[in-house]
Amino acid sequence: MDSASSEHPSAGGISRVPLPETASDALKIVIVGGFGVGKTTMVRSVSEIRPLSTEEIMTRAGVGIDEPGAVRDKTTTTVAFDFGRITLNDRMILYLFGAPGQERFWFLWDQLFSGTLGAVVLVDTRRVEDSWYAIDRLEHHNMPFVVARNNFGEPRHSLDQVRGALSLSEHIPLIDCDARQRESSKAVLIALVDHLYALSTAGKRMP
């Protein structure tokens, strides 16, 4: 009987926990970071399903994009991304998308991620420069975010040093995390939503 799953050749669609019938409002949080920084690891540590992977293609080249010159490949732009989900209650579902910080990804931001609650910038301090572009783009898109340093072993820099290296203003939360640990990843998401809550009650979108 255990071969029954082969009935469904669909990629990754094998016996996932279904959402409750009453699910009616799904929310998005995006985790942005460079290659290998641990985005999918973070998604996996808190997701109730094994991370799924999908792709998007840019459907209308150049429309609504402010820097078309930056796209080098003019034929198709494809971005792959992983995601997971958390059922918050019988009505609300939170989807977590791991998004590559690469240049072409930002051309798809509006197409994919308009309406996102907020973002987590996941930083590897060995490659801080990978995060500059992501932070700049999030600010450009008026998207609130927190920054989380994914700690591989003993940190070599203080968070103040990281803040300095990222030129991060004081009011943007910067926290340490271990993306492999559920509690730690959960704390990052809570830090983000706390930050959003503070912004929301203060009645402003962004600094």
Partner 1 sequence: MTGRPLDRETPDRLYTVTGGRSQADDIDLDLVTLIVSESDPTPGMQSEHVRMLDLCRTPVAVAEISADLALPVSVVKILLRDLIDMGRVTARPPSSAPVHAELPHPDVLKEVLVGLRKL
Nearer to partner 1, 103 or 132 (CB): 103
Q: Which amino acid is at 177?
A: C
Question: How near is the Cβ of 63 to partner 1 at its closest, in Å?
Answer: 8
Phi/psi region, residue 101 (left: phi>0; alpha: psi -120 to 50; beta: rest), is alpha
Question: How near is the Cβ of 99 to partner 1 at its closest, in Å?
Answer: 11
Nearer to partner 1, 161 or 200 (CB): 200
Report strand pairing: 52-57 vs 25-33.
Answer: unpaired
Nearer to partner 1, 163 or 195 (CB): 195
Tokens 């801080």 belong to which residue? 128
Residues near partner 1 (CB under 8 A):
10-13, 16, 18-21, 23-28, 40, 46, 50-57, 59-60, 78, 80, 82-83, 85-89, 92-95, 97, 111-115, 117, 142, 144, 182, 186, 189-190, 193-194, 196-197, 199-201, 204-205
Question: How near is the Cβ of 76 to partner 1 at its closest, in Å?
Answer: 8
CA end-to-end distance (rounded Å), the chain? 57
Nearer to partner 1, 87 or 165 (CB): 87
Tokens 């990978």 belong to which residue? 130
User: Rounded to 10 degrees, what is the CA torsion of 121, 135, 55, 70?
Assistant: -160
